[in-house]
Amino acid sequence: MLKINTQAEWIDRANAVLPAGGFGNFDPGIIIARGEGSHVWDEDGNEFIDYLIGSGPMLLGHGHPEVIEAVLEQLPKGMTFFANNAKGIELAEAIIDAVPCCEQIRFVASGGEADMYAIRLARAFTGRDKILKFEGGYHGMSAEAQMSLAPSRQVNFPQAVPDSAGIPEGVAEQMLIAPFNDLEAVSALLDEHDDVAAIMVEPLQRIIPPLPGYLQGLRDLCDKHDVLLIFDEIVTGFRLAYGGAQEKYGVTPDICTLGKITGGGFPLAALGASADIMKHFDKAQVGEEGWLMQLGTLSGNPVASVAGLKTMEVLRRDGVYDQLRATGAALQQMQVDALTKAGIPHQVCGDETLFDIYFTDAACRDYRSAKHDDPHRNTLYNDTLRAHGIFKSPGKLYPSFAVTEADLEQTRAAVEKAVDAISAA
């Protein structure tokens, strides 16, 4: 008789073979067995409404039938080739049609890769080395990206603080760190440093929205100082709007990175820019010295490409983003209503398509201000939500198109329980 492992047994097995018992991504105390639509189940059969959705890529929900059909049609034709394939070319065309800054793209397998190559591309194009990024901004796992991502100590700007062991000290010398939403700080740094290749920014930094005019201000400063502007749209691409943050905010960067939704739940990401910038991937155009080597075993994988193509087709249909925003607005309002009624200080931070609650009266405008007055309150709130069937990150809530009215009602009940828990604490 086949033995079915309990979740506790799987956790024990994980602790034996995985550092810290996990993949490094999420709470290793839960083992997900399967997902369907807006729900996931753990290995003990507990069911949750999924507001993590794979950290963003499952915008249509788990197992969307049209995406599954496209993938199953592709599988017998081949899973990967390390060569050009028609579906990858079609996906590149669709991305270029959708994203304002892209005239050409290159595929990679992860958002972290895309961000790493975007930094390298900016350096190749400008001939400069320094990169300006924002404290708290997440751009993957490269050495540059791991500067001042989540520093536990506050230092004077623009000093970079490494968030990981194993990074040479010299990397920090090539990074300038500024506070998000502060144009004056950026302007002063660009006046002082004439060797900046690019400013790299999440247009919606984690869940912190840009102040009105901020992104255009960055665009103007980059133009003034002949610096490239990189939008990290790994999260915001095809989420904030079909054309991503570039469409929503009306600001076009020089380079952007895309991931998560782009692959329809499969490992695929991309970076794109004008043909003039992207020529550095073509040795025939720029020669040995200007050439940026880039390759990857799964880049442009046809299975991921068909999943991405079908996802994008669904997203182009009338009313889909109105539906997503309505769902997000409902999720925001139910929490605001319950917390306000209980007299608990809070701020909704983010966009209807991606947000969370900070337990504070203070405005959340950058890494240092976007925090809870009492972190334990946030822990208790999220633990109570989990106990009542809500699966989410402790710092983000991702709405999806699969969320139903029944899901919203169950979420509302869970929110009321969570508010009661922190009121009683």
* Catalytic center residues: 138, 232, 260
Q: Which of 368, 344, 304, 411 is nearest to 151 (CA)?
A: 368
Put residue 257 in one of left, alpha, beta given phi > 0 → left and psi -120 to 50 → alpha. beta
**Cα 207 to Cα 239: distance, rounded to the nearest angstrom:** 13
Q: Report how far residue 383's alpha carbon sits from residue 237's, in angstroms, rounded to the nearest whole number.
A: 30
Instruction: Show the tokens assigned to 180.
Output: 């998000």
Closest listed residue to residue 133, CA positions, set 149, 152, 156, 110: 149
Amino acid at 58: M
Q: Helix (H, G, I), strand (E, B), or coil: what is residue 115?
A: helix
Q: Rounded to 5 degrees, what are φ and ψ at 225? A: -105, 10
CB atoms within 10 A of CB 81: 11
The backbone torsions φ and ψ at residue 257, rounded to the nearest 5 degrees and listed phi first, read: -115, 145
Q: How far apart are CA 235 and CA 288, in angstroms?
A: 34
| 158-197 core/surface letters (b: 16 or more CB in 10 A; e: else) | bebbbeeeebeeeebebbbbbbbbbbebbbebbeeeeebb
Cβ(346)–Cβ(358) under 8 Å?
yes
Pairing assessment for the beta strands 347-351 and 104-108 based on DSSP bridges: unpaired
Task: Name the residue type at position 40.
Answer: V
What tokens does 234 get? 């790994």
The tokens 């919203």 sit on which residue? 408
